[in-house]
Chains A and B, each alone.
Chain A
Amino acid sequence: MIAYLTNLAALAAIFGILAATLNVAVGYAGIFSVAHAVFFGLGAYAGAQIALVLVPDALVAMLVAGLVSGVLSLCLALPALRVRGEYFVAASLGLQMMATTLFSEWKTVTGGIGGLTGIPRPHIFGVEVGTLPLALAALGLILLATAALMRGAFGRTLRSIRDAESAAEALGKNVAAAKALAVAFACAGAGVAGALFALHMQFVNVESFNLDQSVLIMAMVIIGGTGTLLGPLVGAVILLSLPAGLAFLPFIPATEVGAVQQMVYGLAMTLLMIFRPAGLVGDLSRGKSTA
């Protein structure tokens, strides 16, 4: 039972990072990425390879994973600078689909469908550490950084861009740089979460990094509430405990738990958008529609 709860807590922290960083893009910058799992995956593969090939040092793995995802976030920043609204969602969907293919086909790095197995337990300077404290520390740091950034000039710049891009430009804001940086921050965070995930599961394969996962992360942000610090965390905890909760309901056959779980969050997304579009926590409305 303890092991079960520790596992759940570590996963909650990891997905909390994912949701919190996606929220920087979605809630503050108005960049509606449906490709967050891509950068989660990039970080996971990078972290796993570091641990497998180089050293099982958690800090190195997380650092490299964050770097890889942060640099490759250019793939997402590029369309974000070119287009908005539906077009950007479409571009990120396209990126997600291409990445899924890449993850399952580039077998030398990702292990293909079979994935990477036998990832060693994480160490820090040679001492073995649990993933839960590691994940909690990372989550805390990332939340602190997010709060500091979003409360300051950078956060204001992002929100001003979200609300009226041309007016932000007319006040001297470098829109391209701000967007690229927001995307890089969000993706680097996802990369760190990926490395943690790989070290925690000791096994990764493409199924954790496909469109369904991106939508799940998106749902966490949406259900919790965009543009708030704690909303995404609440969303992550709710959606992660959903399968466990459903498993206790006797009238759902075990084989259908997955499907019922997906239906519940699909339904939750739809109903929330109709009745409470700001999410459970937030009262802040999301970005305006396309120009």
Chain B
Amino acid sequence: MSAPILVCEGLSRSFGGVKAVAGVSLALPAGQVTALVGPNGAGKTTVFNLITGNLRADAGSAMLRGRSIMGLAPHKVARMGVARSFQDLRLFTHMSVRDNIRTATETSAWFWQPGGATARRAREAATEEALARTGLLELAEARAIDLAYAERKFLSMARILAARAEIWLLDEPASGLDLASRLRFGALLKEARRQGVAICLIEHNLDVVTELADRIAFLDQGQVLAEGEPEAILKDPKLAAIYFGDRGEAA
């Protein structure tokens, strides 16, 4: 197994009195899918927010290829190769699907992009490829707000594909997808894994997790209760009890 690209240690953050994340350590190796599993409110999204700089951590560290990314602004973390999706998608609602994706390929916001014509062609190619792989080619000129539910989810994925990041943090990307869409999503993920992307996936559907995850980190009340192979974690009756909400029995 390759060395992890992203290593988090002791990440903590509380809101008022609530410890949303309390000492989470996580390592994301290249070419592996790590599933972050846990009941609602466990702190999964907050872990992402701490890594990407959307929230400031009270304690802990996050190292990207040995360089600390703690305290960096979100756009700086993104430029270092961390792409993320949002639970509520946050598409650029009034832009076309193609422009949504194009925005992701542009590394500079300004009037000229580095790399000249070659780079421009590469960006256009990346845009078209992301469109094709997410099945959005026909909808390229539609506004994001006019898309159907599954199409929106794939647009969110297409932005990430186009960003060419080496780390993907995906917040419930497959929730609510029908079977066919889920298969397509699975294919996307497997292809990215093959290309060596380090993927962290928040997912509630345990079938999806079983199918796609190489490792599982089980999060509850801000702490990683268990980490390991999917079979071992999913078979643990204590974790299952917590996951399905029978806290009394588990205790």
Residue numbers of A with Cβ under 8 A of B are: 149, 152-154, 156-157, 159-160, 162-164, 166-175, 177-178, 227, 284-285, 287-288
Residues on B close to A: CB < 8 A?
52, 54, 73-75, 78-79, 83-84, 86, 90-95, 99-100, 102-104, 106-111, 113, 144-145, 159, 163
> Is the CB–CB distance between A153 and B113 below 8 Å?
yes
Q: Which residues of B contact A156 (CB under 8 A)?
A: 95, 99, 102-103, 106
Identify 9 new A-B residue pairs, CB closer than 8 A, beyond the known A166-B54, A169-B75, A172-B79. Answer: A157-B109, A159-B99, A160-B103, A163-B92, A164-B90, A167-B90, A173-B75, A174-B75, A284-B94
Contact A166 B86 (CB under 8 A): yes
- Pick from A153, A159, A170, A178: contact of B94, CB under 8 Å: A159
> A163: nearest residue on chain B (CB-CB)?
B92
Per CB-CB distance, the 5 closest pairs between chain A and chain B, nearest first, are A167-B90, A164-B90, A157-B109, A172-B78, A163-B92
Q: B109 — nearest CB in chain A belongs to which residue?
A: A157
In the complex, the chain B residue whose C-beta lies closest to that of A153 is B106
Residue of B with least CB distance to A149: B111
Minimum C-beta distance from B6 to chain A (A): 15
A159-B94, A167-B91, A170-B83 as given contacts; A153 in contact with B110, CB under 8 Å: yes
Distance in angstroms from B24 CB to nearest chain A CB is: 20
Contact partner, A167, options B92, B102, B111, Cβ 8 Å: B92
A149 to B110, CA, bound (A): 9
Decide: A163 near B159, CB < 8 A? Known: A156-B99, A157-B103, A170-B74.
no
Q: Are B109 and A178 in contact (CB under 8 A)?
A: yes
Contact (Cβ within 8 A) B74 A169: yes
Distance to closest chain B CB from A30 (angstroms)? 10
Contact A171 B91 (CB under 8 A): no
On whether the beta carbons of A171 and B93 are closer than 8 Å, the reply is no
Q: Do A153 and B108 have beta carbons less than 8 Å apart?
A: yes
Contacts A172-B78, A174-B75 given; indicate if A159 touches B92 (C-beta within 8 A): yes
Point out the residue from A154, A178, A288 that lies within 8 Å of B93, measured CB to CB: A288
